[in-house]
Amino acid sequence: MEKTAVRQDTETAGKAPGASVALPANGGATEAVARDTAFGRPRNFLGNRFIYAVISQRARGLSIGVNLNPDKKCNFDCVYCEVNHAEPPRDLEIDVKVMSAELQQLLRLTFEKRLRELPWFRNLPEELLQLKSVTLSGDGEPTLCPKFSEVVQEVARIRSQGTFPFFKIVLVTNTAGLTLPETRKGLQLFTARDEIWAKLDAGTQTYMDKVNRPDIPLRKVLANILAIGRERPIIIQSLFPLIGGEEPPADEIEQYVQRLQELKAGGAQITLVQIYSAHRPPQRGEYCGHLPLRTLSYIARRVREVTGLRAEVF
Ligand code: SF4
Model confidence at 17: pLDDT above 60: no
Least confidently predicted of 13-27, 37-51, 72-86, 248-262: 13-27
Q: Examine residue 4 and state whether it is found in any structural domain, yes or no.
A: no
Q: Tell me the per-residue pLDDT of 210-241, one tens digit each, with 9 for 90 and over.
A: 999 999 999 999 999 999 999 999 999 999 99
What's the 280 CA to ligand 1 centre distance in angstroms?
Answer: 14
Q: Cβ distance 132 to 168 under 8 Å?
A: yes
Q: Examine residue 262 and state whether it is found in any structural domain, yes or no.
A: yes
Q: Examine residue 3 and state whether it is found in any structural domain, yes or no.
A: no
Q: Tell me the per-residue pLDDT of 266-296, one tens digit each, with 9 for 90 and over.
A: 999 999 999 999 876 677 666 788 999 999 9
The domain tally of the chain equals 1
Model confidence at 312: pLDDT above 70: yes
Q: Tell me the range of 1-10, 11-20, 77-86 where mean pLDDT is highest.
A: 77-86
Interval 98-117 mean pLDDT: 97
Q: How confident is the model at residue 6 (pLDDT cuts 50, 70, 90)?
A: very low
Q: Is the CB of 278 under 6 A from ligand 1?
A: no
Q: Examine residue 177 and state whether it is found in any structural domain, yes or no.
A: yes
Q: Which atom of ligand 1 is nearest to the CA of 69?
A: 5
Domain of 204, CATH number, reads 3.20.20.70
Specify burial of residue 133 (Cβ count, 10 A radius: 0-12, 13-18, 19+). buried
Q: What is the pTM of this model?
A: 0.89
Q: Examine residue 2 and state whether it is found in any structural domain, yes or no.
A: no
Give the residue, by CA position, lying nearest to ligand 1 atom 7.
Answer: 77
In degrees, to the nearest 5, what angle opens at C-alpha 256 toward C-alphas 250 and 257? 95
Q: Is the CB of 174 under 6 A from ligand 1?
A: yes
Q: Pick from 4, 69, 82, 83 the residue to mutate for probing ligand 1's pocket: most ligand atoms within 8 Å of its CB.
A: 83
Give the residue, by CA position, lying nearest to ligand 1 atom 2.
Answer: 78
Tell me which residue range forms the domain holding 29.
10-313
Q: Examine residue 214 and state whether it is found in any structural domain, yes or no.
A: yes
Q: Is the CB of 211 under 6 A from ligand 1?
A: no
What's the 257 CA to ligand 1 centre distance in angstroms?
Answer: 22
Q: Is the CB of 1 under 6 A from ligand 1?
A: yes
pLDDT score, position 14: 30
What's the 148 CA to ligand 1 centre distance in angstroms?
Answer: 17
